[in-house]
A = this chain, B = another copy of it.
Amino acid sequence: MNLLVLGAGQLARMMALAAKPLNIEIRAYDVGSNQVVDPLRPTVTFGALTDGISFADAITAEFEHINHDVLALCEQSGKLYPSSQAIKTGGDRRLEKQQLEACGAANAKHAIIALENDFRQALESLSLPIIFKSALEGYDGKGQWRLKSQADANATWQDISTFLLAADPKKKQGIIAEQMVPFDREVSLVGVRDQSGNTQVYPLAENHHTNGVLSVSTALVNEKALQAQAADIFDRVARQLEYVGVLAIEFFQVGDQLLVNEIAPRVHNSGHWTQQGAETCQFENHVRAVCGLPIGSTALIRPTAMINILGEDTLPTSLFSIPGVAIHWYGKEKRAGRKMGHINVSAATSAQLKQSLELVAEALPDDETFSDIKAYINKI
């Protein structure tokens, strides 16, 4: 079977690694070069997008910010999973909020802003602090503004309106104002829905961010009530979107309640731990679902955490000697802050996982990002 992935980054690469043993051939459409490439060897090319579409039995995406013309072309072929509507929903916070409301998934109080008048109304309908997020193309903390005091409102609007005026009018950029939630922690749920509507969800993960970028995800072992709440929201959202494939939902946990922060219509960084920690990893399950195969068990094998490698392209080899450590590099060129790879750490029990994580923290270099990660690990 042949699968075309829109996007040729690390997620397509890890899908290809998971698909090879299934004899599923993956090619990836590189949106930068407009070429179809081998995600495991991007110097090997296979022509243009139309060639990729003809080659494929199924088409999917590794990220949500795909040109709408490309999505339309793929959808016309009848092979695209999830649908372009689901992918676009993940790429536009306005659509996302509409869908969350439509299926009754709890989320932070918000308003949609296009003009200054909307901005002023939002200041009245929402309590401070408020976070303003670009509706399109914002991720990892980019395109966001925080307003803590009414005194700064004019300056914030100035920033936002400058941003909106600079945006490409064809793309219809906008802003979502969200009442900031005093959350206890951020967790996320990765799950999968097959072409017949069956779903399976992985255990929730607790997420830690460093400079606005995910840096550690730890699978949660004994959170039955929270897990049930998250699974219910997953089912609502996935059904609402008639979703096929892996879908990730990020939550703010406030006391016992989960509020949806955002959804990602794809395999997700907070699910990378499943490569070592779950019966079937998110990459294989996504490939299975979009290719029309039965999805596999998402059960936890053993306690596992993931640490992102941000902006580094080497690590001490002493990490290899720590039991339960698996290193995943993405083969990318080093750039400050870039997601270069991740480390999965597994152990038989949560207590042993804590010990292994402490050994890993000791072995990691002392750069800015890893220092924050070490502080977090030592607090767990």
How far, in whole Å, are A64 and B44 apart by their CA atoms in the complex?
31
Name the segment of A14-22, A146-154, A171-179, A237-245 touching the other chain. Answer: A14-22
Whether A302 is near chain B, meaning CB under 8 Å from some CB there, is yes
A320 touches B293 (CB 8 A): yes
Given that A294-B317, A302-B301, A321-B296 are known contacts, is A20 also in contact with B23, CB under 8 Å in the complex? no
Interface residues of A in 287-334 (CB under 8 A from B): 288, 293-297, 299, 301-302, 317-318, 320-321, 323-329, 331
Chain B nearest Cβ from A340, distance in angstroms: 9
Whether A38 is near chain B, meaning CB under 8 Å from some CB there, is yes
A299 touches B323 (CB 8 A): yes
Whether A41 is near chain B, meaning CB under 8 Å from some CB there, is yes
Whether A40 is near chain B, meaning CB under 8 Å from some CB there, is yes
Chain B nearest Cβ from A118, distance in angstroms: 46
Whether A279 is near chain B, meaning CB under 8 Å from some CB there, is yes
Q: Which residue of B lies closest to A320 (CB)?
A: B294
Chain B residues positioned under 8 Å from A323 (CB to CB)? 279, 296-297, 299
Chain B residues positioned under 8 Å from A38 (CB to CB)? 41
Chain B nearest Cβ from A287, distance in angstroms: 11
How far, in whole Å, are A219 and B301 apart by their CA atoms in the complex?
17
Chain B residues positioned under 8 Å from A328 (CB to CB)? 21
Chain B nearest Cβ from A18, distance in angstroms: 10
B302 touches A324 (CB 8 A): no
Given that A294-B317, A321-B296, A323-B297 are known contacts, is A20 also in contact with B44, CB under 8 Å in the complex? no
Chain B nearest Cβ from A309, distance in angstroms: 11
Q: Which residue of B lies closest to A332 (CB)?
A: B23
A23 touches B296 (CB 8 A): no
Chain B residues positioned under 8 Å from A346 (CB to CB)? 279, 301
Q: Which residue of B lies closest to A281 (CB)?
A: B326
How far, in whole Å, are A44 and B294 apart by their CA atoms in the complex?
32
Q: Which residue of B lies closest to A323 (CB)?
A: B297
Contact with B along A34-67 (1 / 0, CB 8 A): 0000101100100000000000000000000000
A296 touches B279 (CB 8 A): no
Chain B residues positioned under 8 Å from A41 (CB to CB)? 38, 40-41, 44
Chain B nearest Cβ from A361, distance in angstroms: 18
Chain B nearest Cβ from A5, distance in angstroms: 16
Contact with B along A333-347 (1 / 0, CB 8 A): 000000001000010
B20 touches A40 (CB 8 A): yes
Chain B residues positioned under 8 Å from A295 (CB to CB)? 320-321
A20 touches B17 (CB 8 A): yes
Chain B residues positioned under 8 Å from A299 (CB to CB)? 323
| 20 A-B pairs (CB sep. < 8 Å) | A13-B20, A17-B20, A17-B21, A20-B40, A20-B331, A21-B326, A21-B327, A21-B328, A23-B329, A41-B44, A279-B323, A280-B326, A294-B321, A295-B321, A296-B320, A296-B323, A299-B323, A301-B302, A301-B346, A302-B302
9 closest A-B pairs by CB = A297-B323, A23-B329, A21-B328, A294-B320, A294-B321, A293-B317, A293-B320, A279-B323, A23-B331
Q: Which residues of A contact B (CB under 8 A)?
A: 13, 17, 20-23, 38, 40-41, 44, 279-280, 288, 293-297, 299, 301-302, 317-318, 320-321, 323-329, 331, 341, 346
